[in-house]
Amino acid sequence: MPPLSDLLIFAVLLAAAGGLAGLLAGIFGIGGGAVLVPVFYQIFGLAGVPEAVAMHLSVGTSLAVIVPTSVRSFMAHRRHSAVDEKLLKGWVLAVPLGAILAAMIAAEASSAMLRGIFAAITLLLAIRMVANRASWHLGTDLPGEPATFLVGSGIGLLSGLMGIGGGVLNNTFMTLYGRPIHQAVATSSAVGVLIAVPGLLGYIWAGWGEPGLPPLSTGFVNWIAVLLIIPITLMMAPIGARLAHAMSKRQLEIGFGIFLLVVSARFFVSLG
């Protein structure tokens, strides 16, 4: 059992991460996993959770937090009538399918593999957001089927492996096809729900009976961290949504890109 002072520090870090995750969920339409996963990984390590399961536990716990955060963020954005309802209907099966596949892969993947995936994808997305040019478009509208279905499944797969709500990937996909960043952000909040619910169930299954998990864990989900963070993220998400609609497209892109660069660097360092 860690000293009381350490537990208090962990609680403060979790609370701060929850506030930042909720704010980012509203601003960028993400579930907050890009904040929560690295924080969880650090905290679980300090708490003595074995390296072999610390990253898996971080991803699964992040997905559990993303469920209510994404729902709250989606409701806030929907009031602005910016969500692409047609795209969401086409992804009702595609995105959860990818998230379930991610849990199956995670059950066999190493900690280093999950950290490497997280670091590589966030770096690529950060470069794209910071160096974005108006000429970077693949088309003037979203592609038809089956391409969109495959993209949705891919977003679900990669997001499930990273423990994120899919906003980082969906924002990139939609803006490359000419959709406004604010519409992409609003739609991404709903994509987070389609990823997090099946992803949460999948990580519970994938980690069932694993040794070394901390108390009050069900598979790769730690409910202590979930219960500490969810109230704070729910409170902050609507504030972030209001900020998003008050910011310019370029401000959103640069802010998001810088944030992703920091996160990517943290995980590349952990692989050294």
pLDDT tens, residue order, the chain (272 aa): 556 666 677 677 777 777 777 777 677 666 677 778 887 888 888 778 898 899 999 999 999 988 887 887 788 777 777 788 888 889 999 999 999 999 999 999 998 999 999 899 889 878 877 886 666 677 777 888 899 999 999 999 999 999 888 887 888 888 888 888 778 888 888 898 899 999 999 999 999 989 889 888 999 999 988 988 888 877 877 787 777 777 676 777 787 788 788 888 888 887 87
Write the Ramachandran bin of 115: left for phi over 0, alpha for psi from -120 to 50, otherwise beta.
Answer: alpha
Contact between residue 223 and residue 59 where contact means Cβ atoms under 8 Å apart: no
CB burial class (10 A; 0-12, 13-18, 19+) of residue 153?
buried
Q: Which two tokens stand for residue 124?
A: 């690529």
Token digits of residue 164: 């994120």
Global pTM?
Answer: 0.82
